[in-house]
Every structure is written in structure tokens, then in C-alpha cells.
Amino acid sequence: MSRYLEVIRSLYQAFAEGNVPSVLGALSPNVRWTEAAGGPYGGVYIGPQAVLERVFARIGAEWEGFTATPAEFVCEGSSVVAIGEYSATFKATGKSFKAPFVHVWKFDGETIASFHQHTDTVLHTQPMHR
């Protein structure tokens, strides 16, 4: 197993346990974090603090039981692709969703240089509407 795959597997485990500092600690100071356009947090965020404030804090505040569960990994060089499923309930409406995702992680040395999310943003945003 590649060292990059080990890091990514541990990140999903840390996220599942609510250990956000471990996730943020694996990111480069200049990480380029891309959330899918049209999704609830769509955009590009630079640096761990921006990821924390613009993505993770909002997920925690707005969703109940948010999970990102990988089912398969593909590794090539310094890239790891995770294929899986999101699920959660939007607190304001009580509506739930499940949506497939593909996450593309790229490393620069020992840290994660970029993250790119691919998902069905319609499925992800439907629970947000009354």
C-alpha cells in the first residue's frame, strides 16, 4: 500500500471520528481545496483555515450525521482517488440525502497539495430546500 493511500485512509477515519485537527494537519499550508460548483460549499479555498471555516465548520453547523464513506481507492503516483458516498440530514429541514462522490487528492511531498470534489450537487442540495 502506498504511503499516500495510508494518509488518505487515515483522513477519512479521522473525519468519521470528528477529528478535524488531524485532517487539517495533513494539508499543505497552501492547499487548494475545491468543492464542486453548484454544491452547498462550491468554490476554491486556499489553506487549512479557509477549509475549516468555509467547509468543515459549516458542515458541522448545518448537517446532522454527515458522513463521507469511501468504498474504493485508486492510486497513481502522488494522486489518490476515493470513490464513495455522502449521507446526512440537513438540520433546518430534517431532510436527508445520499450522493456519490469522487475525491481527487494530490500530494506535494508529505502534505496534501490539493483536493477536488466531484459529486451530484443536485442530490446534495435538495435537503436544503423546504
pLDDT over 90 at 1, yes or no: no
Q: Is this model's pTM higher than 0.85 or not?
A: yes
Burial zone of 122 (CB within 10 Å; 0-12 exposed, 13-18 middle, 19+ buried): exposed
* Residue 83 clears pLDDT 70, i.e. is over it: yes
CA 118/CA 54 separation, integer angstroms: 17
- Give 94-104 pLDDT, tens digit per residue: 999 999 999 99
Q: What is the pLDDT of residue 13?
A: 98
Distance from chain centroid for Cα 41: 11
- Model pLDDT for residues 26-36, shown as the tens digit of each residue: 999 999 999 99
pLDDT digits (tens, 9 = 90+) for 108-121: 999 999 999 999 99
- 36: cell is 464542486
CATH number, span 3-128:
3.10.450.50
User: Residue 112 is which amino acid?
Assistant: I
How far CA 8 is from CA of 14, 23, 31, 66, 91, in Å, comes to 10, 9, 15, 18, 28
Would you say how long the chain is, in residues? 130
